[in-house]
Amino acid sequence: MGKKSNLPIFLLFAVFVIATCGLIYELVAGALASYLLGDSVKQFSFIIGTYLFSMGVGSFLAKYITKNLFDRFIDIELLIGLIGGCSSVILFLLFQQVEHFQFVLYFFVFLTGCLCGMEIPLLMNILKDRIQFRDLVSNVFAFDYIGALIASVLFPILLIPKLGVMGTSLFFGIINILVGVFLSFYLAKRLKNPNWIKAKSIACLGLLSVVFFYSDDLLKYSESQLYGNNIVYKHSTPYQRIVLTESKGEYQLFLNNNLQFNTKDEYRYHEVLVHPAMSMAKDVSNVLVFGGGDGLAVREILKYPGVKQVTLVDLDEGMTRLFQTNELLVNYNKGSLKDPRVKVINQDAFIWAKSAKGKYDVMIIDFPDPSNYSLGKLYSTSFYKSLSPLMTPYTMVAVQTTSPYFAPKSYWCIHETVGSIFPNTIAYHTYVPSFGEWGFCLFSADMTQHFKHIVRRVEKLRYYNYHFSELTDFPADMRADHVEINRLDNQILVRYFDEEWSKI
């Protein structure tokens, strides 16, 4: 009699687990799309849409399950644990091997969502004679939504930084299967084939536990296939996957599978980003850097003896800490982030700029490319307007603006957006072997500022020669006409960027 009264409680707890694990698998798929296919709004939207649609399909199919409901419920629980738990492992391993990877990705999303969608109506069918309908519906959905909330909070704050994408999916797959193991024993008298269900549950638990135990080795193998070089460092922060590789004595930094720099030629990029603004500014005492958590732009800034303070605003504490503590990387940025003149602030630049005080002589804006809306806002008129209170009439600002060759619409969209706020702008570009042609924008608040007037220079730069006018000529294949301005409410830049880079 006691077991009968406790049955609804245990099954409602299973709803909580189903909801938590189901959303985790959806978030894992979204994170994988970001890591492997690029942080595309389209990819994440398609994953969410596919998952919700597949849950509807699963709910529809559940009505055809009319016999041995407890057996089928546990079978589905085990399937979700196996498929959802192993999905990240399989997808990582297949990324370099299959031509139509996106089809495989969405297939796993559909299959997982379909199975999760089947469980809720199946469970309600089991409990319909044990709980009043009103209480049944409210309790099931309450546990379902609570589980989803907990999953969405834990995923970025705890799970990704501690377990990574692969470890997270496997861990929650094990939780799914543990529920199946518990129910196979607790409901043994209600099952048609209890011994078979128990054996399957234990076998699934053993299989997933072994995969989880070797998950680090599997991730190492899959990433070695992906990057093709020796991986010397890897870490997942709440914001991105950081991977450092080595090839022929040179090091490459990847964020979410996107190359950020190669030590072989990063000096070209950072010298051209920093030195035009620093050499033309009226003063360089107080410098502000947005992004640039690797400290390489700060390294170039500190070459000027007139610099008294540098404020670096970068969202990811994991990134700045890495470049403050890793001996290899500190060697490349010359310990710039540990310099007493440098203050590091780990905060969203969009929010920080709106409440910041003080004036800056030079601003260097080195954000990642605008591959999603959270980054696209940092290239919007709203963000550039927030810079005005931080500028003197003579403040010089340099912005990295993606490639004018591979993404001309994106490049000129940024330039026109800046120009709508600060009419005194100039576009320039240079060649970086690891990236190809790369573009920048230089601007100031003073309409009379002359960009070709060199006030100061430092010696022994490896690439930039202070002949700024040589960088301002754009051939026809790096131009684009009729581009829109990127506003916060339209984010046209993200669409330009996704359209252009998806062809590369």
User: Which of the residues are catalytic?
Assistant: 366
Indicate the burial class of 65 (C-beta count within 10 angstroms; 0-12, 13-18, 19 or more).
middle
- C-alpha to C-alpha distance for 358 and 454, rounded to whole angstroms: 25
Which of 17, 15, 77, 22 has its CA nearest to residue 204?
Answer: 77
Rounded to 5, what percent of the chain is helix, strand, coil? 60, 15, 25
What's 348's DSSP letter?
Answer: -
Supply the angle between the helices 69-94 and 101-127 in degrees, to the nearest 10: 160
- Assess contact for 256 and 241: CB atoms under 8 A: yes
C-alpha distances in Å from residue 428, one per residue of 301, 380, 440:
19, 19, 5
Q: What are phi and psi of 39, to 5 degrees?
A: -75, 75
Q: Where are the alpha helices (DSSP H) in 214-265?
A: 215-227
Dihedral angle of Cα 359, 343, 234, 232, to the nearest 10 degrees: 110
> b/e map of 199-220 (b: 16 or more CB within 10 Å)?
ebbeebbebbeebbeebeebbe
Pairing type for strands 250-255 and 309-313 reads: unpaired
- Assess contact for 393 and 445: CB atoms under 8 A: yes
Tell me, letter by letter, the H, E, C secondary structure of 296-331.
Answer: HHHHHHCCCCCCCEEEEECCCHHHHHHHHHCHHHHH
- C-alpha to C-alpha distance for 221 and 334, rounded to whole angstroms: 32
Q: How far apart are the first and last CA of the chain?
A: 65
- Assess contact for 176 and 21: CB atoms under 8 A: yes
Q: Where are the alpha helices (DSSP H) in 228-265?
A: none
Sheet containing 250-255: order of strands: 230-236, 241-247, 250-255, 258-262
Which of 293, 299, 290, 259 has its CA nearest to residue 433?
Answer: 259
